[in-house]
Amino acid sequence: MITFEGAAKIYPDGTVAVAHLDLTVESGRTTVLVGPSGSGKTTSLRMINRMVEPTHGTIRVDGHDIRAQDPARLRRSIGYVIQQAGLFPHRTILDNIATVPLLLGWRRRRARARAAELMELVGLESAQAKRYPHQLSGGQQQRVGVARALAADPPILLMDEPFSAVDPVVRTSLQDELLRLQRELRKTIVFVTHDIDEAVRLGDRIAVFRPGGELAQYDTPERLLAEPVDEFVESFVGYDRGVRRLSFFPARGLSLRQDMVFEAQDRVERAREAVVAGEDPWVLVVNERRAPLGWVSARQLTEQPSGLTLGSLDKAPFGHTFDVATDSLRAALDAAVLSPAGRAVGVDADGRVLGVVSQEDLGGAIWSVTE
């Protein structure tokens, strides 16, 4: 556990980097510091490993005042990852990762073996061990940065905008990797970003800073989106927070209609009867393995001669599906909004259609969880 007790950093020129911070960072969890530029995120983070000394207040790690600890030793016991990785350009990837173990006096062989193990853990190919940082992509360099920070197995990991310099696709995959790593390693992670979506994705708890280095709100992502404490936080989390909050509710409880799902070899008249009985203007056509093929509208069905199979008709694309077991209401809503039929297709882990959900049913489900 890391505690800030009235911690502040005021520079000699009068700049208030951090005004007065009371904050408890739980062990084994990811705490995200988020806020606009200049709001004191980096300063707060660096006070933890004494790269910045607070001018007021106390910071404790597991109850121990960090002022009582040797800064160099403290720093070696805390992993630190920054934007653009900050790798040593003239050292190989393997030696970059082995840096801290070597500083701690490990034998070269052991340090390198540990580095090789970490390369695998963060998803790097062993063939890259002998390369130099400039021979890697930005995303790969960030992975090296994470591996290097983890090398001596520190209980605490500080990450300052580690994924900000890579493109959105790589960024998402790095976030996924971090979530996977954290499920395994359970480090105490303090992660700085100015991207609220990244904060919501990664954080167990989120601290929102406002200009002037003040803590505006400290909450779970769900509560932050549901109940921003004031207008600043509300505008910072974004006015679409209602929709984004749906990502915390599972799609599992949605009622899925199966009477509107037909196979390609089924005949037009069967689907027509279902459309009349079910009062639904769309049917979904699936193949023999129940993979979706596309939508057919009621109007289209009435225009077709009987006897034809659904497989022979033109179909509107089914868009993207949602996984009933693992996705959220947000994913289901997104699937419905993007579908030409206005309906979402729910599938199992193998992509087999379990049923379709209409916007009305989705609306009802959303209403009942968020009211």
Ligand X SMILES: Nc1ncnc2c1ncn2[C@@H]1O[C@H](COP(=O)(O)OP(=O)(O)OP(=O)(O)O)[C@@H](O)[C@H]1O
Interacting residues toward ligand X by CB under 6 A: 11, 13, 15, 17, 35, 37-43, 194
The smaller minimum CB distance to Mg ion, of residues 159 and 225, is found at 159
Residue 18 CB, shortest distance to Mg ion, in Å, is: 12
Decide which of Mg ion, ligand X, none touches 162; Cβ closer than 5 to 8 Å per partner kind.
none
CB of 138 to ligand X, least distance (A): 18
- What separation in angstroms does the CA of 142 have from each of 37, 117, 125? 22, 17, 14
CA angle 356, 357, 363 (to 5 degrees): 175
Among ligand X, Mg ion, none, what does residue 40 contact (CB within 5–8 Å per kind)? ligand X
Number of residues assigned to the chain: 371
Of these partners, ligand X, Mg ion, none, which one is at the site of residue 339 (CB under 5 to 8 Å by kind)? none
- Choice from 30, 31, 39, 42 touching Mg ion (CB under 5 A): 42
- Tokens for 142? 């960030």
How far, in Å, CA of 229 to CA of 231, rounded?
Answer: 7
Interaction between residue 39 and Mg ion (CB under 5 A): no
User: Residue 212 or residue 317: which is nearer to ligand X going by CB?
Assistant: 212
- Proportion of the chain in helix, strand, coil states, percent, rounded to 5: 40, 25, 35
Residue 203's alpha-carbon distances to 82, 173, 196, 207, in angstroms, are 18, 16, 10, 9
Binding segment toward Mg ion, per CB under 5 A, in 37-45, 69-77, 204-212, 283-291: 37-45
Question: Of these partners, ligand X, Mg ion, none, which one is at the site of residue 228 (CB under 5 to 8 Å by kind)?
Answer: none
Residue of this chain nearest to Mg ion (CB atom)? 42
The candidate with the shortest Cα–Cα distance to 71, out of 102, 43, 47, 87, is: 47
Rank residues 38 and 281 by Cβ distance to ligand X and give the closer one: 38
- Closest CB 222 distance from ligand X, rounded Å: 24
Rank residues 216 and 261 by Cβ distance to ligand X and give the closer one: 216
Total residues interacting with Mg ion, rule: CB under 5 A: 1
Q: Residues of 298-317 as b/e, b for ≥16 C-beta within 10 angstroms?
A: bebbeebeeeebbeebebee
Minimal distance, residue 10 CB to ligand X, in Å? 9
Name the minimum Å distance from CB 53 to ligand X.
11
CA of residue 168 relative to chain centroid, distance: 12
In angstroms, give the least distance from the CB of 232 to Mg ion.
Answer: 18
Cβ closest to ligand X, residue 83 vs residue 304: 83
Residue 40 or 133: which CB sits closer to ligand X?
Answer: 40
Q: Which amino acid is at 10?
A: I
Q: Nearer to ligand X by C-beta: 8 or 115?
A: 8
Closest approach of ligand X to the CB of residue 12, in Å: 8
**DSSP class of 221:** H
Phi-psi region of 329 (alpha: psi -120 to 50; beta: other; left: phi over 0): alpha
CB 211 within 8 A of CB 39: yes
- Minimum CB separation of residue 15 from ligand X in Å reads 4
Helices (H) and strands (E) in the chain, counts: 15, 16
CA-to-CA distance for 343 and 313, rounded, in angstroms? 19
CA dihedral 162, 164, 167, 172 (to 10 degrees): 60
Regarding 140 and contact with Mg ion (CB under 5 A), the answer is no
Q: Which is nearer to ligand X, 238 or 311 (CB)?
A: 238
| 11 vs 88, beta carbon nearer ligand X | 11
Q: How far is the CB of 158 from ligand X (least distance, A)?
A: 12
193 is a contact residue toward Mg ion (CB under 5 A): no
